[in-house]
Structure 1
């Protein structure tokens, strides 16, 4: 019998800038790249489309890219010239953008479509690793600028029906995102502390998971890990899109800090 279960939702680390497409003599990004490269094989079926929430796009209300052929936004700075020539010509999906926006509005959440915006590096960099053929339609979703975890969990819940239609919901961010903490060994221990809490929260049953994530700011070392939470909120959407169990599917230390990725069945 064919597998008719919905696709999972995931929270993936997107790395630093165009990191996977630069020289990496120490192998800093190797484990993360290997995880991303293996993502398609971890799915029971090939996604018909990908809806990806990026920590690098903030809007009033939620917004979705509606272009049929989205361009790339090279929103990183002081990297080698060739990284501004990267290409990822994945098609967009105005139909998916319209349906996603409708699902949010029907749930009483603010949603709009931007027909012109391209894909930022929180989208095209990890997807160029995971889906290098660029043949899966992509719609990017913004983080709501009020940074309310309840709103993002509710958005995930509203978008959950897309999973039954073969849409892969990805939250793209970083489980630790404190620019002062990267490459500083003083931040290793607090990042481990927050990562342990986050893993326990993500792997809890759906009800306990929501309660924990709603109060993430009370977690140990929470504001050390995330002075500002825009890179954590994509996890809220991915977690909200599932009533099933969560599982840590990536774990490693990058730039002296603990980084994790999670899958929600």
Structure 2
């Protein structure tokens, strides 16, 4: 990103792993269930050193053979949820895209040995526009979505994040949007065993994400060996945005900035790069 020579250089942006909720949950009459998560998302902008020039977001809802970045000037929305009220299929998030920046990021990844490309037609899935509608409701910051690589290799996604680290010094906010617990079969069910399994994995994850860089990345690479890992993530696509974020964090310390049991299942969010946030 370029800045006026008369202005101070931007401060380094943190990187975030946030929960994106369940479908369009924040825009439904669902009393109190998602209120705390919405409040957390709504407060994110206040934890940043300055308003970002752009947001680069990785969602658990887009997988491709080659890492791909949205490159439309005005990306459409993809309502990739099912069985919700009609009004939720008319939600709008008119933030602009950033085609030139998307191309530059693809080149940055390719230069780092990770072949990447852009897609000038692909829109934003609900893992992008739903949380951003809450966190950055003015829709006045350009947004680029980056896909997961379909092999879902955690080490690859950490390395991808490492190649993106310099963007933080260019006032780009990097966000991973997923869920730290994503067993949909049990999420809506009031089952004590599922709550116990979720709490065990969440405890491990909160520790692993806050370790020093090398230990953190080693632990996250082997996430599947953690207690109850495969129960909480039968498929890991909603956890992998955390791997990208951890890679982009570099040596910055992780802090758990969101912690709550939703429908009895423990969930967490993390921020790397302080002192701009508050965490545990």
Q: TM-score, normalised by structure 1?
A: 0.98
2:190 is equivalent to residue 182 of structure 1: no
Pick one of 12, 15, 18 that aligns with 2:24: 18
Q: Corresponding residue for 1:209?
A: 216
Structure 1 runs of 4+ aligned residues shifted over 2 Å read 2-5, 183-186
SS of residue in 1 equivalent to 2:51: coil
CA distance in 1, matches of 2:9, 2:225: 40
Task: Quote the Cα distance in structure 1 between the aligned partners of 2:163 and 2:100.
Answer: 17
Q: Which residue of 1 aligns with 2:4?
A: none
Q: Which runs of 5+ in 2 are unaligned?
A: 1-7, 274-280
Aligned partner (choices 11, 16, 23) of residue 5 of structure 1? 11
Structure 2 residue aligned with 1:141:
146
SS at match of 1:73: coil
The residue aligned with 1:250 is 258
CA RMSD of aligned residues (A): 1.2
Cα contact 1:175–1:231 (8 A) shared by 2: yes
- In structure 2, distance between residues paired with 1:116 and 1:241: 26
Q: Given the alignment of the two structures, is residue 66 of structure 1 paired with residue 71 of structure 2, yes or no? A: yes
- How far does the alpha carbon of each residue in 1:144-201 deviate from its partner, in whole angstroms, 9 at most, with x for none? 1000001100000000000000000000000000011213322101100000100101
8 Å contact from structure 1 (residues 51, 138) kept in 2: yes
Structure 1 distance, partners of 2:107, 2:200, is 39
Within a 5 Å distance, the mapping from 1:12-161 to structure 2 comes to 12-25=18-31, 27-161=32-166
Q: TM-score if structure 2 supplies the norm length?
A: 0.92
Classify the secondary structure of the residue corresponding to 1:241: helix
Contact kept in structure 1, 2:53 and 2:142, CA below 8 Å: yes
Cα distance change, pair 95–3 in 1 and its aligned pair in 2 (3 A): closer
Other structure's SS at 2:187 match: coil
Structure 1 CA distance for aligned equivalents of residues 75 and 10 of structure 2: 30
Shift of 1:3: 8.2
How much does 1:5 deviate?
3.4
| Matched residue, 2:229 | 222
Number of residue pairs matched by the alignment: 264
Deviation at 1:110, TM superposition (A): 2.1
Matches of 1:215 and 1:173 in 2, distance apart?
18
Distance 2:9 2:46 in 1: 15
- Partners of 2:252 and 2:140 lie apart in 1 by 29
SS in 2 for 1:52: strand
SS at structure 1 position matched to 2:184: coil
